[in-house]
Amino acid sequence: MTWDILNIIGTVAFAISGVLIAIEEDYDLFGMYVLGFTTAFGGGLIRNILIGIPIEDFWLQGYLFEIAFLAITLVYILPNKWIRNWKNSVVFFDAIGLAAFAIQGANYAISIDAPLIVVVIAACMTGTGGGMLRDVFAGRKPMIFSSGIYAFWAVLAGLVIGLDFVRGPYATFVLLLIIVILRILSVYFNWNLPHKGYNKRSLDNKN
């Protein structure tokens, strides 16, 4: 039950975030569906390839593809004034998708008795892979490399689950809520990991 709920939450949230980005970039209807599906399923596909799961398993998620299709279609038919209000909600939907899929990816790795490092990688790739592909397809700098400690929260979810600090559905959904809140706070307060800063102009002058 927890597994299915996380799948649905992550799929819907990422599908919506993909559509909102497509609308911002003025994509047509086909582009909206491509970006929505890419965001919703890209992370799981990357995780499966890295872990060595047969590619056929990816296509055995019929109900999730249907849910993503319905979510994308619903956003498309909403009145424009609603969409304008939702444009500022990309971070919110992205945070939900990040948290749900990071937890789901970590749990998937645990289910195959993977070591801790693989659990963390699975959490990170599942949680951020879809958003990374979405940004690349939209011609944007991927959030995973630049925006408000994006991937760190997926890594944190993987560590917490991999170290067996989370047991049971209630603890899982509390972790999901915590990751969502931390992601939103990191954007709101502009938290960032350390950068290797330099003045490009002065560096060019020296050369």
Q: Mean per-residue pLDDT for 56-84?
A: 85
Residue 23 falls inside a structural domain: yes
Predicted confidence at residue 85, as pLDDT, reads 66
Domain of residue 177: give its range.
2-193
Predicted confidence at residue 81, as pLDDT, reads 73
Q: What is the mean pLDDT of the chain?
A: 87
pLDDT tens digit string along 34-47? 999 999 999 989 88
CA distance 40 to 137: 14
Is the pLDDT at 169 greater than 70? The verdict is yes
Q: Mean per-residue pLDDT for 83-106?
A: 85
Predicted confidence at residue 204, as pLDDT, reads 55
Residue 34 falls inside a structural domain: yes
Is the pLDDT at 19 greater than 60? The verdict is yes
For a pLDDT cut of 70, what percent of the chain falls above it? 88
Q: How many domains does the chain have?
A: 1
Residue 199 falls inside a structural domain: no
Q: Mean per-residue pLDDT for 130-150?
A: 85
Residue 202 falls inside a structural domain: no
**What tokens were used for 136?**
């690349």
Using CB atoms within 10 Å of the CB of residue 142, give its burial: 0 to 12 exposed, 13 to 18 middle, 19+ buried.
middle
Is the pLDDT at 83 greater than 80? The verdict is no
Predicted confidence at residue 52, as pLDDT, reads 77
pLDDT tens digit string along 171-205? 999 999 999 999 999 988 888 877 766 555 544 55
Nearest to 6 by CA among 122, 135, 70, 100: 100
